[in-house]
């Protein structure tokens, strides 16, 4: 347990809190798409816990002895999480044309992700090709939401709207972590220490993202459309 | 060389990350700034609309008062005069000996006098100057007496607190609002009892009119009033707002109705 008190696990605090508070969306007053996002957060939390547990204890038991690397966990759970994320934005965007494009792009992305996972990149290295494309797609989704806000006739109070905070966190994290993911595998093979030190930037962005998600679920429930 | 290359990569990644995060921050602040501007713009439009509607309502009320004044003066001057002439002619026609004709003429004279009295009362209730002269309490009592003369309602009036003077505009609008409420009672309430109370409290002025009629669904009536753009409850609320009065409607089907008007003392200049 004391291992958890290292600085590189600080991001678990806002993630845990946001997952807990996201359960509020299952109350009657929250629009239904927020439940999808809540499931996404809970799945993310479970992925993180599983990945940490694997690295510390689960990789070697009486019954098995595998590599300590937990990248296969992140690779495996990335696609289901992204599917929930895309579904959430699909529900929240109003434009029918954009919704159709999200579906098509999401389907292509998922297909590519499966092919990348099974055939292109090894299991125990980060599937950064999938990550790069999903990062770009997530940035576009966040920008699409802000575009919708600017075009909407009704003026919404942004600071009190959960979707604003979700998109804010999404935009900052997925845009900021893009250079890191692009270079990660190359750096890990050739400059391991540098790759690991760059993880600090990733942790900082994680903290910003999950804190934004936490603030989103602390807001008053928006009215259902 | 290798160290410097790794430094280059580190710096590249760091700078690119900072630029991308900065881009995100710029987008977000642009959206917030734009929303703030739109919000202020919309607020300004709403304020202008509100001011325009207030001016329009005040103009409407002024025209209404002028029309009522004109009608009051016509009633008093012309129609009242004609009723007096009718009475004078009847006196001239009245036979000296008792008989059926004399009785009929006496009854007709009585009806003519009643007509003159009603005309006088109606003229007084329409005449703005008269209402401002006698004050809201007297005007309200006169209006209640007119209701009592219909012989359908049991009327009661109570007054409490130390009386203080209300501005003339407040008195006129309050009186017209009371007239509207009484009209609604006569038209819709099917009541048998009407109670009016005026409370001069230190913090505010309260006027309450209660009836024991069939009552109504207040929310439904307010919504219908808004949808049909008809005068009525919303009109009462709007006119009350002109004199900074809060209006409260308390009613349930078959449980009577209470209309309460409260003007905070600080709004009574």
Q: Which residue has the higher pLDDT, B11 or A143?
A: A143
Label residue A56 by pLDDT band (50, 70, 90): confident
Q: pTM of the entire structure?
A: 0.65
Q: Write out pLDDT tens, residues A171-225.
A: 999 999 999 888 888 888 888 888 888 888 889 999 999 999 999 999 888 775 5
Instruction: Report the pLDDT averaged over residues A16-43.
Output: 91
> How far is residue B48's CA from residue B44's CA, in Å, rounded to a whole number?
6
User: Quick check: B208 and B169 in contact, CB under 8 A?
Assistant: no
Name the closest residue on chain B to residue A202, using Cα atoms. Answer: B17
The residues facing B251 across adjacent strands are B257
Nearest alpha-carbon partner for A179 in B18, B63, B226: B18
> How far is residue A14's CA from residue A18's CA, in Å, rounded to a whole number?
6
Label residue B3 by pLDDT band (50, 70, 90): low
Interior angle at CA A164, CA A160 and CA A170, nearest 5 = 145
Considering only CA atoms, give the Rg of chain B: 32
The full DSSP string for A88-142 is HHHHH---HHHHHHHHHHHHHHHHHHHHIIIIIS-TTS--HHHHHHHHHHHHHHH
User: Quick check: B107 and B56 in contact, CB under 8 A?
Assistant: no
Chain A positions contacting chain B at CB under 8 Å are: 143, 146, 149-150, 155-159, 168, 171-172, 175-180, 183, 187, 191, 194, 197-198, 201, 205
The answer for A160, left when phi > 0, alpha when psi is -120 to 50, beta otherwise, is alpha
Interchain CB distance below 8 Å, B9 and A187? yes
Interchain CB distance below 8 Å, A176 and B21? yes
Nearest alpha-carbon partner for A146 in A178, A108, A175, A177: A175
For β-strands B193-200 and B154-161, DSSP reports them as parallel
At A87, list the tokens: 């579904």
User: What phi and psi values does residue B76 have, to the nearest 5 degrees?
Assistant: -70, -50
Chain B positions contacting chain A at CB under 8 Å are: 6, 9-10, 12-14, 16-17, 20-21, 23-25, 27-28, 31-32, 34-35, 38-39, 42
Nearest to A155 among B16, B23, B42 (CB): B42
- Which of B20, B22, B39 has the most A C-beta neighbours within 10 Å, making it the best mutation to test the interface with A? B20
The SS3 call for residue B211 is strand
DSSP3 helix / strand / coil % (chain A, rounded to 5): 80, 0, 20
> How far is residue B131's CA from residue B176's CA, in Å, rounded to a whole number?
10
Q: Write out pLDDT tens, residues B122-152.
A: 888 888 888 888 888 998 998 898 888 888 8
In this predicted structure, the answer to whether residue B229 has a pLDDT above a threshold of 80 is no
Distances (CA, A) of B178 to A54, A76, A222, B68, B239: 79, 75, 42, 16, 12
The SS3 call for residue B138 is helix
Label residue A67 by pLDDT band (50, 70, 90): confident
In this predicted structure, the answer to whether residue B269 has a pLDDT above a threshold of 80 is no
| pLDDT value of residue B227 | 61
Nearest to B35 among A158, A171, A176 (CB): A158
Interchain CB distance below 8 Å, A179 and B42? no
In this predicted structure, the answer to whether residue A3 has a pLDDT above a threshold of 70 is no
- Say which DSSP state B135 is in: -
Q: Which residues of B touch A197 (CB under 8 A)?
A: 10
In this predicted structure, the answer to whether residue B258 has a pLDDT above a threshold of 80 is yes
> Worst-scoring range by mean pLDDT, A29-38, A93-102, B49-58?
B49-58
The SS3 call for residue A77 is helix
- Say which DSSP state A65 is in: B
Instruction: Report the pLDDT averaged over residues A134-153.
Output: 93
Q: Which residues of A touch B13 (CB under 8 A)?
A: 179-180, 183, 198, 201
| pLDDT value of residue A1 | 46
Please give the interface size between A and B, counted as residue pairs whose CB atoms are below 8 Å apart: 61
Interior angle at CA A103, CA A141 and CA A116, nearest 5 = 85
Residue given tokens 């299991």 in the structure block: A123
């Amino acid at each position: 347990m004391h291992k958890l008190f290292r600085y590189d696990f600080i991001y678990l605090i806002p993630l845990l809190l946001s997952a807990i508070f996201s359960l509020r969306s299952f109350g009657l007053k929250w629009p239904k798409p927020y439940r999808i996002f809540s499931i996404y957060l809970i799945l993310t939390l479970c992925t993180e816990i599983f990945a940490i547990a694997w690295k510390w204890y689960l990789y070697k038991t009486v019954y098995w002895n595998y590599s300590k690397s937990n990248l296969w966990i992140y690779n495996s759970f990335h696609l289901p999480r992204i599917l929930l994320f895309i579904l959430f934005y699909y529900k929240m965007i109003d434009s029918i044309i954009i919704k159709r494009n999200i579906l098509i792009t999401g389907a292509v992305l998922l297909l590519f992700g499966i092919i990348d996972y099974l055939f292109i990149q090894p299991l125990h290295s980060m599937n950064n090709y999938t990550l790069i494309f999903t990062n770009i797609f997530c940035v576009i989704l966040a920008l699409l939401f802000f575009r919708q806000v600017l075009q909407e006739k009704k003026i919404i109070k942004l600071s009190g709207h959960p979707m604003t905070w979700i998109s804010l966190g999404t935009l900052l994290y997925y845009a900021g972590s893009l250079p890191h993911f692009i270079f990660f595998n190359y750096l890990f093979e050739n400059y391991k220490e540098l790759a690991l030190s760059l993880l600090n930037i990733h942790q900082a962005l994680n903290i910003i993202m999950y804190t934004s998600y936490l603030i989103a679920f602390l807001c008053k429930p928006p009215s259902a459309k | 060389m290798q160290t410097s290359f790794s430094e280059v990569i580190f710096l590249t990644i760091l700078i690119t990350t900072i630029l991308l995060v900065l881009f995100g921050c710029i987008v977000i602040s642009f959206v917030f700034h734009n929303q703030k501007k739109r919000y202020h713009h919309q607020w300004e439009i709403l304020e202008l609309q509100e001011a325009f509607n207030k001016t329009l309502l005040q103009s409407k009320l002024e025209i209404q008062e002028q029309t009522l004044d004109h009608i009051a003066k016509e009633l008093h001057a012309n129609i009242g005069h004609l009723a007096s002439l009718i009475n004078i002619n009847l006196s001239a026609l009245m036979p000296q000996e008792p008989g059926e004709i004399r009785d009929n003429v006496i009854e007709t004279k009585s009806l003519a006098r009643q007509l003159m009295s009603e005309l006088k009362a109606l003229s007084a209730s329409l005449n703005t100057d008269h209402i401002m002269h006698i004050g809201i309490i007297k005007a309200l009592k006169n209006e209640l007496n007119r209701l009592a003369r219909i012989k359908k309602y049991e009327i009661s009036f109570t007054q409490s607190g130390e009386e203080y003077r209300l501005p003339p505009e407040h008195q006129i609008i309050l009186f017209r609002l009371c007239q509207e409420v009484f009209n609604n009672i006569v038209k819709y309430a099917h009541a048998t009892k009407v109670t009016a109370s005026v409370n001069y409290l230190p913090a505010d002025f309260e006027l309450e009119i209660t009836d024991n009629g069939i009552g109504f669904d207040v929310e439904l009536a307010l919504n219908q009033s808004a949808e049909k753009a008809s005068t009525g409850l919303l009109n009462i609320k709007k006119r009350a707002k002109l004199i900074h009065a809060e209006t409260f409607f308390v009613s349930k089907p078959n449980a009577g109705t209470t209309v309460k008007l409260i003007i905070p003392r600080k709004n009574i200049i």
